Structure 1
Amino acid sequence: MHDRNTPSALWTPPLNAPAERELCTDCGVSRMSDPKQCGQACQFIKPDYPAMERRVHGRNRDAATGDEAFFGPYRRMVQAAMKQPREGAQWTGITTTIAQRLLETGAVDAVIAMAPDPSDKWKPMPVLVTKPEGMAQCRGMRMGYAPSLALIEPAIAAGYKRLAVIGVPCQIYALRRLQDQLGLEKLYVIGTPCSDNTTTEAFHGFLDLLSDKPETITYLEFRADYHVELRFDDGNVKAIPFLLLPISKLPPDFFPITCRTCVDYTNTLADITVGYMGGRGEQWLLVRNERGEELLKLLGDDVRLSEPTSAGNRVAPVKGFLKNTELAAGGLPVRGMPNWLRPFMGWLMPKVGPRGIEFARARVEMKAVETVLHLRRHYKHKMKNMIPAHVWALVKPYGLEPQDGERRD
């Protein structure tokens, strides 16, 4: 049992082994005292986003209002950056600073987040953070599964009943489904968009393809300007255009089928979503409800806010993505761009491709396309229960319609 009076700012309790599941991102529910709760909580079984949106936000997304058809319910959408970026942060430190302020103000007893595993800086380790200074250890990006929700029961047992949780969509959907039966006094949810996860081991293979000294890479980010940014321990920075990435050399299962069939890329059940897709070089926030407003307010004058912008047209890139995904999902070779053309297109896309909010819309539509095609190929019998109506609405303009038995009545 954890002693609340101990000086440690971070705490990771012993975790149970996960139960075996067919489609699972190890959110942590199967490691809890009742693994059967997965049947109720998992977004890969029978998600009910309309009901959950009403429960969390008091209403459903309105396709006629702003960009809610793409991003789910929100009160306002802003581009943001900390005026003084936090050292070690993936962007400028908005997510960890919000959590830090929650602890500083006493609004919560603990924050469930991720920190690097002591044995591997890229491997996520779920942690309970009980002191503000502990959030500094949670900055930066990890790659791999993190059973964060397995920490809820130990947190409650230790007397922490006012919690904040930082998580990705599959974690947050499960959390919201179980929220009413947890007995928490208060819950703040800071969501990040889905990151197209993979295992930590597979990610190391990707790093091996990007550098002949992968152990010197300290930072990696897929930016909204169609480049991957790498930083190295000697201070060097390298930007690689998406089109020049060695994607064809990755194994077919590099991105697991769960991440290729996600129906909630933008974390619609969070109080606030903190991402980058619509930020054009800065972060992109979706303030979804009153509690989300409260979270953003914690940053005060330390954050710079501006209106998001949009440019370019997503239709052609999404159509091209659909065609390639149809080939890949069917096991056929994808027709790649000629090598001589890739550098030119890598230079051109940030200038004429979808940017800002249009880039975010494109990514959401691409994820919806990917979900339909991969489920149709691998788990057709699950489509009826797994794909919400808002996903079908996103793919309809591209000629994807539900076939017999693929949609709930």
Structure 2
Amino acid sequence: MEVVEGIKVPTFMEFGFADLESKVIGRGKCCFCGACIAFCPRIEAIDDIPQLVEYDALCGMCYTHCPRSFLDIPAIEEEIFGKNRVDELIGVHNGIFAARSKDPKLRERAQDGGVVTALISYALDSGMLDAVVATGLSDEVPWKPVPVIITDSSEVSRVSGSKYALSPTIVGVKEAIDSDFERIGFVGLPCSIQALRNIQVSKEPYQIGIDRVKLLIGLFCMENFRYDDLMSGFVRKVLKVNLEDVVKFEMREGSFWVKTKDTTYSVLIKDLDKYVAEGCRYCRDFTAELSDISVGSVGSDHGWSTVIRRSELGQKLFEDAIAEDYIEMGSITGTDLIKGLSRRKKEGAI
């Protein structure tokens, strides 16, 4: 085991799936980001849990790059941003803004201000990216999040809107690499961003093609849910709502909203605590601090998104999308609220 600045860093050949199973999955730390499933052919998702399906050759990549095993944030910041954070609550950044899509039709179908949808539309239209991996919905299971690869801005509706259950979205990154895309973007939660950064800064030889992942857009996330717990355990059994009848889920103003064509149901988010995925309780990152650019609803007026610019690439994407009339800026109103929730998540993590 290598020692870096006094910290014991796990190296590639020292661990196997048994370590991932005992130290992460078995302890309820797994965030189901999909990194281990994506980059190891011997691991599959069974009932939304990574499980070994073939003999483990003790290659160690699943454990070494899991965001719940080891995460050297200062080293990642130094390599990605060229500096370490000054703002402990929000991380490295060069500006916080309110913004929204300039396309009113896009805003209607997207979440909040539709900024993420607008940004990936611009990135694809401009040629900055030739594919974007994000979270869409299954065609077979109602409201179940699944990884989706889009290659044209006309497809962005497939991934617009928030998803309120865990998805192994990084599996889509491996599929995009295998499909020979050269400029891949990724939209995901803080845990998935952490996993991809772990792989990107790795000195190990296995991560073939990870250099094609050019842009990471992170989403604010306080907590998430396992699909069966929220959708079956709460929506179906407690609210008595058929998932097939739901037209939109939304979290805002401290409540979880479930909308059908005829009725709107709401419950306080704090009342969903028992349904929160156990792995989320270990997370200290509210604003996707290691992404190139972060987007969320907290801190902006209803109908607008909050944008945190972080890397030079994230800044360029944001400024170019404004210049090309994909998004417009507004007035940020709740920076203190963002910091307050970030502090709460850091202090509340196990």
Number of matched pairs: 295
Distance 1:162 1:302, change over 3 A: closer
Distance 1:276 1:77, change over 3 A: same
Within the candidate set 243, 260, 276, 1:232 is matched to 260
Residue range with higher mean Cα deviation, 77-86 or 109-118: 77-86
2:92 is paired with a residue of what secondary structure?
A: coil
The equivalent of 2:175 in structure 1 is: 154
Give the greater-gyration-radius structure (CA): 1
The equivalent of 1:45 in structure 2 is: 69
Q: Are 1:288 and 2:310 counterparts?
A: yes
Q: Are 1:306 and 2:334 counterparts?
A: no
Within the candidate set 249, 258, 268, 1:220 is matched to 249
1:55 is paired with a residue of what secondary structure?
A: helix
Q: TM-score w.r.t. structure 1 length?
A: 0.66
Within the candidate set 26, 32, 45, 1:26 is matched to 32
Counterpart amino acid of residue 217 in structure 1: V
Distance 1:132 1:259, change over 3 A: same
Residues 264-283 of structure 1 aligned to structure 2 (within 5 Å):
264-281=285-302, 282-283=304-305
Give the Cα–Cα distance (whole angstroms) in 2 for the partners of residues 46 and 121 of structure 1.
Answer: 35
User: 2:181 touches 2:212 (CA, 8 Å); kept in 1?
Assistant: no
Q: Are 1:69 and 2:96 counterparts?
A: no
Q: Are 1:88 and 2:109 counterparts?
A: yes
Report deviation, 1:211. 4.0
Give the Cα–Cα distance (whole angstroms) in 2 for the partners of residues 255 and 112 of structure 1.
Answer: 25
Residue range with higher mean Cα deviation, 171-180 or 291-300: 291-300
Distance 1:237 1:82, change over 3 A: farther
Counterpart amino acid of residue 190 in structure 1: I
2:278 is paired with a residue of what secondary structure?
A: coil
Give the Cα–Cα distance (whole angstroms) in 2 for the partners of residues 209 and 71 of structure 1.
Answer: 37
Identity %: 26
The equivalent of 1:132 in structure 2 is: 153
Q: What is the RMSD of the two structures over their aligned residues, measured on CA atoms?
A: 2.4
Within the candidate set 360, 363, 383, 2:338 is matched to 360
Q: Are 1:190 and 2:209 counterparts?
A: no
Q: Which runs of 5+ in 2 are unaligned?
A: 1-19, 44-59, 202-206
Report deviation, 1:285. 0.6
Residue range with higher mean Cα deviation, 175-184 or 186-195: 175-184
1:71 is paired with a residue of what secondary structure?
A: coil
Q: Deviations over 1:166-187 (max 9, x none)?
A: 1111111110121254442451
Q: Deviations over 1:209-237 (max 9, x none)?
A: 774434333222221x3344443224x55
Distance 1:210 1:99, change over 3 A: farther
1:177 is paired with a residue of what secondary structure?
A: helix
Q: Which runs of 5+ in 1 are unaligned?
A: 1-18, 63-67, 310-355, 376-409
User: 1:42 touches 1:170 (CA, 8 Å); kept in 2?
Assistant: no
2:147 is paired with a residue of what secondary structure?
A: strand
Counterpart amino acid of residue 357 in structure 1: T
Give the Cα–Cα distance (whole angstroms) in 2 for the partners of residues 174 and 289 of structure 1.
Answer: 18
Counterpart amino acid of residue 365 in structure 1: R
Give the Cα–Cα distance (whole angstroms) in 1 for the partners of residues 186 and 273 of structure 2.
Answer: 33
Distance 1:241 1:114, change over 3 A: closer
The equivalent of 1:334 in structure 2 is: none
The equivalent of 1:337 in structure 2 is: none
1:191 is paired with a residue of what secondary structure?
A: strand
Give the Cα–Cα distance (whole angstroms) in 1 for the partners of residues 226 and 134 of structure 2.
Answer: 18
User: 1:191 touches 1:271 (CA, 8 Å); kept in 2?
Assistant: yes
Q: Deviations over 1:139-166 (max 9, x none)?
A: 1222222112223333222211210011
Counterpart amino acid of residue 232 in structure 1: T
Q: TM-score w.r.t. structure 2 length?
A: 0.77
